[in-house]
Homo-oligomer: A and B are copies of this chain.
């Protein structure tokens, strides 16, 4: 079973990586990019008996810093 976790910075938290990408895109001539937010996507190959609660616990303990990040779990 495969789960996909999206981890993004919370709104309002400064995203220096996103700003750097936005700046670089401008330098490459890509106008009209008003904002860039960068996050992580983590694909987990799990045992068939894994549950959403298990993945949630993985996020809370390791995969996301819940002070500044939010996460979304998707089973694929």
Q: How large is the interface on A (under 10, 10 to 19, 20 to 34, 35 or more residues)?
A: 20 to 34
Chain B residue at minimum C-beta to C-beta distance from A28: B61
CA distance A57 to B42 in the complex (A): 25
Q: Tell me the minimal C-beta distance from A30 to chain B in angstroms.
A: 6
- Taking a contact as CB atoms under 8 Å apart, the answer to whether B61 and A32 are in contact is no
Whether, in the assembled complex, A12 has its beta carbon less than 8 Å from a beta carbon of chain B, the answer is no
B62 near A33 with CB under 8 A, answer no
Given A61-B28, A62-B25, residue A38 in contact with residue B35 (CB < 8 A): no
Which residues of A1-54 have CB atoms within 8 Å of chain B's CB atoms? Answer: 6, 8, 18, 21, 24-25, 28, 30-47, 49-50, 54
Residues on A close to B: CB < 8 A? Answer: 6, 8, 18, 21, 24-25, 28, 30-47, 49-50, 54, 57-58, 61-63
